[in-house]
Amino acid sequence: MNAYVGTPTSRVDGRAKVTGAAQYAGEFQAAGLLHGFVVTATIARGRIVRLDASEALRVKGVVDVLTHANRPPLADDDDAWKDEVAPEKGSPFRPLYDDVIRFNGQPVALVVAENWETAKFAATLVRIDYEQDGFATDLDAKRGHAIELDKPHKPRGDAETALNGAAVRHEADYVIPTEHHNPMELYATTTVWEGGNRLTVYDKTQGVQNVHKYLCSVFGKKPEDIRVVSPYVGGAFGSGLRPQHQVVLATLAALALERSVRVVLTRHQMYGLGYRPMTIEHVALGASADGKLDAVVHEAIAVTSRHEDFARNDTGWAEQLYRSPNSLLSHKLVHLDVSTPCDMRAPGAASGVCALECAMDELAVALKLDPIELRLKSYSERDQGEDLPYTSKQLRECYARGAESFGWNRRNPAPGSMRDGKELVGWGMATGVWEALQMPVAVRIVLTANGHAEVSCAASDIGTGTYTIVAQVAADALGLPIETIDVKLADSTFPQAPVEGGSWMAASSAHAVLAAAEDIRQELARLAKAMPGSPVGSVDIPDLVLVDGMIANGNDKSRAVSIADVMRHSRLERVEKQKLNQFAEDKSHARNTHSAVFAEVKIDEELGVIRVTRIVSAVAAGRILNTKTGRSQIMGGVVWGIGMALHEETVMDHRFGRIMNADIAEYHIPVNADVHDIEIIFVDEPDHRINRLGVKGLGEIGIVGVPAAIANAVYHATGKRIRRFPITVDKLLD
């Protein structure tokens, strides 16, 4: 049955969220709950020589001040601290582990008090003396110290020679600043002391089982001692993939004090955790005189911490998008005295594709080619890195549909040639690309005789709509109305799921639901056939379908028996099936999502004020499970792309190694006034190979390409190439 999949179904958790019924990690209550406030380091590198908490401890209501000196035991080997998403190489940061300061903003103490205000006040009374060491936080200054990672991409041909011999070449550095996720919900944990050394941890996370495993290994606990729950997440965007500091601190305090403890970080403190690393993206493109790419060189130089090698795929995307006989791709890291970066929406691609697509625009100008035409001349039907065909790739259609809707053919290519009164008008475009990943996920379905089904899975819904698509797929697969489906997510005791990230959860959870529902179908079919005088007694099990609360002959739906009757007759209150879905390994095809993004900017010629008046994003991402939540996903990505182009930048004073705009008053993201018309087109992309439903996932693709399309539009309007993001008034006036 297909009543819900592919439709604009409203969020099943929408009512709970807008009425406040949905509880978030920092909202769970417990008897005698204590509140922790974090004290953070004010130097970038060195050692704590003295930490005096005596004054803080004298404040009425303060219960304890936990530090490296008085904390309960913590695991002392790196492996114990390596969560599911930790970089392979390095030594994960351990909160309150020792006296060493590794980055400014590092947690150094936790003040625990009877209420939050008291803890916050007492935290100002903790006196810390440091011994400061020399430090470095400036990527521009330390660029020469970059260390090359093992090449993730095999060089093809001889890019250097091809570049030197190219008829037309373009080469430039593009700089993406450090950016922070700034989810609306603050990072928060409520660790409930259940007695008998057992804990329930309500945590803001993208992966309850990742946090569960991490806490068990860090604190030396048995799996049954700790349960991690995260029913609702107010945005995370990658910041909740790895366990955040506060989950360690709240749990540490709960164990030390044998009380329930809540720790909520302030917005300011959240800047001491993960971020999109600043990167210097060097791109060199060579083409023949008729505009065919002959060489692609892309080198990324990225920030990481001294203690971990965080790196993502910034430079591999040209292999997906453009046919070129020669390519050389590399990724370098500069180790600085900062916290470890982490995944942030479309990690690697958001930055790398931005650089690549700006460079392609510059090459198109050099070749006097339309930017779409340049891209079509080197359109790649194969993933060149692996030399594989795609399961599906409707990028051509994205260009065509996007261009048509945008009115691209009315574009005068000369910079500064289009205007609207005092404003210069710029039209730019760019390509987006992301992976279509899928992971093993297990789901349990409990069907009860009253016609309700509970579907449970450890996966998180980070606001993306997982609750809703799981309900849609289950309703269709079980032949039940969506109102009868109760989805339970994000409890570490539920069937296995990886962290929610990488855009893999939609496809992965949907197929796990299908797999468990198939077991339910088979069980019900067997029972139905076994009923005396069964109307489906002679129908083969594979021919029986679940539809409208019935078990029916798929070829003749009039031959059917109700699920309720079958269960009653079988004396069953419930049918329960749990199934782990593993996708068959298929290395014969590459799997990607694509987009074509078109942007219109209007720029006041004298004053440099930019308005992004129109965005058209045409997306090919297989079958869209829910066109309503899917559209919201892409729109969120587009808005974020506007921010990446024009606003977002974490600013650090390198004399202090300290972030100086650690709040959302000064760290700018777009406000409503910055967002105008956004049109989203889902291009038909049937994909019978990737998975049964033909689903690819939408979490990341929405942002990729947007900043480049806007930057290219700014060039088209003004003739100015701003290669250091964000594009601000001062850079345009320069």
Partner 1 sequence: MNNFQYSRASNVADAIQLLAADPDAKLIAGGTNLIDLMKENVERPSRLVDISRLPLRDIEQTADGGLRIGALVPNSDLAYHPQIEQRYPLLASAILAGASAQLRNMASVGGNLMQRTRCAYFYDTATPCNKRSPGTGCSAIDGLNRNHAILGTSSSCIATNPSDMSVALAALDARVHIASRSGERAVALIDFHRLPGDRPHIDTNLGSGEIITAIELPPRGFAQNYSYLKIRDRLSYAFALVAVAAALDLEGNVIGEARLTLGGVAHKPWRSLEAEAALRGQAATPDHFGRAADLLLQGAAARAHNGFKIELARRAVVRTLMQAARATPQSQAHKKIA
Which residues are tagged catalytic?
A: 700
The C-alpha atoms of residue 512 and residue 31 are separated, in whole angstroms, by: 38
Among 221-229, 400-408, 435-443, 606-614, the segment contacting partner 1 (CB under 8 A) = 606-614
The C-alpha atoms of residue 440 and residue 427 are separated, in whole angstroms, by: 42
Binding-site string for partner 1 from residue 123 to residue 142, where x marks contact by CB under 8 A and - marks none: -x------------------
All residues at 6 or more sequence positions from 666 whose CB lies less than 8 Å from its CB, including other chains: 660
3-class state of residue 174 by DSSP? strand
Residue 125 Cβ, how far from partner 1 at the closest point, in Å? 9
Does the footprint of partner 1 cover residue 672 (CB under 8 A)?
yes
Q: Two tokens at 509?
A: 């959870």
> Is the peptide bond preceding residue 243 cis, with omega within 30 degrees of 0?
no
Q: Two tokens at 195?
A: 């007695």
Please, which residue, 521 or 602, has the CB nearer to partner 1? 602
Does the footprint of partner 1 cover residue 677 (CB under 8 A)?
no
Does the footprint of partner 1 cover residue 422 (CB under 8 A)?
yes
Among 10-18, 386-394, 580-588, 724-732, the segment contacting partner 1 (CB under 8 A) = 724-732
Residue 124 Cβ, how far from partner 1 at the closest point, in Å? 6
Does the footprint of partner 1 cover residue 332 (CB under 8 A)?
no
Please, which residue, 150 or 734, has the CB nearer to partner 1? 734
**Amino acid present at 678:** I
Q: Two tokens at 536?
A: 């489906």
Please, which residue, 518 or 604, has the CB nearer to partner 1? 604
Candidates 47, 68, 75, 121; binder of partner 1 (CB under 8 A) is: 121
Candidates 419, 589, 611, 628; binder of partner 1 (CB under 8 A) is: 611
Among 133-141, 150-158, 221-229, 663-671, the segment contacting partner 1 (CB under 8 A) = 663-671
635-654: contacts with partner 1 (CB under 8 A): 646-647, 651, 653
Please, which residue, 382 or 720, has the CB nearer to partner 1? 720
The C-alpha atoms of residue 435 and residue 622 are separated, in whole angstroms, by: 12
The C-alpha atoms of residue 561 and residue 394 are separated, in whole angstroms, by: 43
Among 147-155, 359-367, 480-488, 600-608, the segment contacting partner 1 (CB under 8 A) = 600-608
Half-sphere exposure of 560 (CA within 13 A, CB side): 17
Candidates 274, 608, 702, 707; binder of partner 1 (CB under 8 A) is: 608
Q: Two tokens at 171?
A: 């080469």
Please, which residue, 585 or 666, has the CB nearer to partner 1? 666
The C-alpha atoms of residue 112 and residue 605 are separated, in whole angstroms, by: 55
The C-alpha atoms of residue 714 and residue 720 are separated, in whole angstroms, by: 7
Task: Return the residue matching tokens 């980070």.
Answer: 462
Please, which residue, 119 or 620, has the CB nearer to partner 1? 119
All residues at 6 or more sequence positions from 300 whose CB lies less than 8 Å from its CB, including other chains: 279, 280, 281, 282, 314, 315, 330, 331, 332, 351, 352, 355
Please, which residue, 59 or 564, has the CB nearer to partner 1? 59
Binding-site string for partner 1 from residue 241 to residue 280, where x marks contact by CB under 8 A and - marks none: ---------------------------x------------
Candidates 55, 138, 309, 604; binder of partner 1 (CB under 8 A) is: 604
Candidates 31, 184, 289, 671; binder of partner 1 (CB under 8 A) is: 671
Does the footprint of partner 1 cover residue 290 (CB under 8 A)?
no
Candidates 170, 602, 614, 723; binder of partner 1 (CB under 8 A) is: 602
Among 83-91, 344-352, 361-369, 667-675, the segment contacting partner 1 (CB under 8 A) = 667-675
147-148/107-113 β-pairing: unpaired
The C-alpha atoms of residue 244 and residue 697 are separated, in whole angstroms, by: 25
Candidates 46, 92, 501, 670; binder of partner 1 (CB under 8 A) is: 670
Please, which residue, 149 or 729, has the CB nearer to partner 1? 729
Short-list 535, 680, 549, CA closest to 621? 680
Please, which residue, 21 or 609, has the CB nearer to partner 1? 609
**Residue 74 · residue 243 · CB < 8 Å:** no
Write the burial class of residue 688 (CB in 10 Å: 0-12 exposed, 13-18 middle, 19+ buried).
Answer: exposed
Does the footprint of partner 1 cover residue 656 (CB under 8 A)?
yes
Does the footprint of partner 1 cover residue 120 (CB under 8 A)?
yes
Strand order of the β-sheet with 453-457 is 485-489, 453-457, 441-448, 574-581
Does the footprint of partner 1 cover residue 419 (CB under 8 A)?
no
Among 24-32, 115-123, 127-135, 377-385, the segment contacting partner 1 (CB under 8 A) = 115-123
The C-alpha atoms of residue 466 and residue 458 are separated, in whole angstroms, by: 11
The C-alpha atoms of residue 616 and residue 401 are separated, in whole angstroms, by: 10
Please, which residue, 326 or 650, has the CB nearer to partner 1? 650
Among 206-214, 251-259, 367-375, 671-679, the segment contacting partner 1 (CB under 8 A) = 671-679
300-329: contacts with partner 1 (CB under 8 A): none
Short-list 472, 341, 360, CA closest to 11? 472
Please, which residue, 338 or 474, has the CB nearer to partner 1? 338
Please, which residue, 124 or 588, has the CB nearer to partner 1? 124
3-class state of residue 252 by DSSP? helix
Beta bridge partners of 388: 383
3-class state of residue 524 by DSSP? helix
Does the footprint of partner 1 cover residue 224 (CB under 8 A)?
no
Does the footprint of partner 1 cover residue 728 (CB under 8 A)?
yes
- Size of site (CB under 8 A) for partner 1: 37
How far is the CA of 596 from the CAs of 405, 609, 704, in angstroms? 12, 26, 9
Residue 375 Cβ, how far from partner 1 at the closest point, in Å? 31
Among 174-182, 532-540, 557-565, 666-674, the segment contacting partner 1 (CB under 8 A) = 666-674
Strand order of the β-sheet with 100-101 is 100-101, 46-52, 127-132
Does the footprint of partner 1 cover residue 184 (CB under 8 A)?
no
Please, which residue, 40 or 251, has the CB nearer to partner 1? 40
Does the footprint of partner 1 cover residue 423 (CB under 8 A)?
yes
The C-alpha atoms of residue 228 and residue 214 are separated, in whole angstroms, by: 11
Candidates 156, 242, 658, 721; binder of partner 1 (CB under 8 A) is: 658
Does the footprint of partner 1 cover residue 607 (CB under 8 A)?
yes
Short-list 392, 457, 468, 462, CA closest to 696? 392
How far is the CA of 584 from the CAs of 65, 439, 495, 502, 657, in angstroms? 52, 10, 20, 19, 48
**Residue 126 · residue 52 · CB < 8 Å:** yes
- DSSP track, 417-473: -EEETTEEEEEEEEEEEEE-----EEEEEEEETTS-EEEEESB---SSSHHHHHHHH
Residue 665 Cβ, how far from partner 1 at the closest point, in Å? 8
The C-alpha atoms of residue 226 and residue 215 are separated, in whole angstroms, by: 8
Residue 706 Cβ, how far from partner 1 at the closest point, in Å? 16
Candidates 52, 98, 117, 129; binder of partner 1 (CB under 8 A) is: 117
Contacts to partner 1 by CB under 8 A? 42, 117, 120-121, 124, 268, 422-423, 602, 604, 606-609, 611, 646-647, 651, 653, 655-656, 658, 660-661, 665-666, 668, 670-674, 728-730, 733-734
